[in-house]
Structure 1
């Protein structure tokens, strides 16, 4: 009898323990759905965030749309400035062809120009400025330098100064002048000078002698050993015409 009761007691205790363990297991199982619910909420929050994000990205696409083809159309419109390519017409710069035409102009002769002379600077006078003016009705090219002879006793031409040579041909339209600087002495009192009231000049390409009147009532005092002449130029230039 006692043994049977003891077994019953053990069974009862074992049943109670099993019931408790089942209850505990059920409690743990209930906690799993609760914890599982959090990820689903996070997922829904994320999905809503993504949706919101999509809304924002859609918004940016709208702003991109506002940047859209209108802006690019305006930029394309500015390409209308390609009309300025019309300036390429100037690329046909007739300047070079004009220079070629100028270079092909006939050489000036004594009958085309008038030559005058004035003193340059103040005393002591050492240089003359020759001016050759085109008095004809056609354009002509004034070549090289003036071939000057100051004295009958010195038949050789006054030497030329190479650095004064202009870079382009000197072409004179009707009425236009050209210039040449001529040195006749160093201006010293102990020089071997001779008075000159007029001198002769010829042009390149024409042997006709042009008589030029020397400036001043007494003319100029020429030292043939110091005389030099520059090339004809459209204007006198500092440096190139200093000698």
Structure 2
């Protein structure tokens, strides 16, 4: 009987201990479940917060990139405008004045100084009604039997293009001979002058009732200039 009682007590104590451990285990599992639940609950919030942060960062990055993209064409456009504006001005300045043709000017000849009349001055007055540019020197042919143009004197070439406003004149000094009439000269009543770059020739009346005497070994012409210049036109 004593043995049976002791066994009963042992079993009761053991059962109590087992129940206690079970309760502890249940409590621990509940805590774990709650902890897991909290993590499960907090994880979506954290993920949502992280997603919001990423979205905000992406929006900022996108905004910055968009701003940069918007600024680049604007700057590029300004640069292009400046360049094209500059190219347009340059083109306008260089192309706004057409070359004079023989038909754009009225050409006349006058004696320079007194006897022995070694030079004449050609005057080309712009009668076109608009500005034009005189190119080079007059292409002069004095004699029917001498088809070569009178050669030009290099030192008379002006430094800048000669642009004539409507009604304005250009001048060219022409040497005829060393002077006088002798066996080396030929009389000329009229002669032809062509403005460089123009195919047509103008017939110019020589000054004086008897015309002028020319020597093909001595003649020369200067370039068109806005005025006759001492030194450069001294030949």
Change beyond 3 A, Cα 1:158–1:103: farther
| Corresponding residue number in structure 2 for 1:41 | none
Encode CA deviations 1:133-167: one digit per residue, 9 max, x unaligned. 00111100001000000000100000000000001
2:109, 2:96 → 1: CA distance? 28
CA contact (8 A) 1:202 1:210 kept: yes
Return the match for 1:207 from 199, 205, 216: 199
2:102, 2:138 → 1: CA distance? 11
Return the match for 2:171 from 179, 196, 201: 179
| Corresponding residue number in structure 2 for 1:218 | 210
Deviation at 1:190, TM superposition (A): 3.9
Return the match for 1:116 from 108, 117, 122: 108
Deviation at 1:110, TM superposition (A): 1.6
CA contact (8 A) 1:197 1:213 kept: yes
After the TM superposition, which parts of structure 1 deviate over 6 Å for at least 4 consecutive aligned residues? none
Partner of 2:201: helix, strand, or coil?
A: strand
TM-score (norm. length: structure 1): 0.58
Deviation at 1:102, TM superposition (A): 6.4
1:196, 1:160 → 2: CA distance? 20
Superposed, 1:2-81 pairs within 5 Å as: none
C-alpha RMSD over aligned residues: 1.7
Check if 1:164 corresponds to 2:152: no
Partner of 1:208: helix, strand, or coil?
A: coil
1:188, 1:136 → 2: CA distance? 38
Deviation at 1:105, TM superposition (A): 1.1
Gaps of 5+ in 2: 1-88
CA contact (8 A) 2:181 2:213 kept: no
CA contact (8 A) 2:117 2:180 kept: no
1:117, 1:189 → 2: CA distance? 19
TM-score (norm. length: structure 2): 0.59
CA contact (8 A) 2:131 2:165 kept: yes
Deviation at 1:101, TM superposition (A): 2.6
Encode CA deviations 1:220-242: one digit per residue, 9 max, x unaligned. 01111111000000000000000
CA contact (8 A) 1:103 1:171 kept: no
| Corresponding residue number in structure 2 for 1:78 | none
| Corresponding residue number in structure 2 for 1:233 | 225
Partner of 2:155: helix, strand, or coil?
A: helix
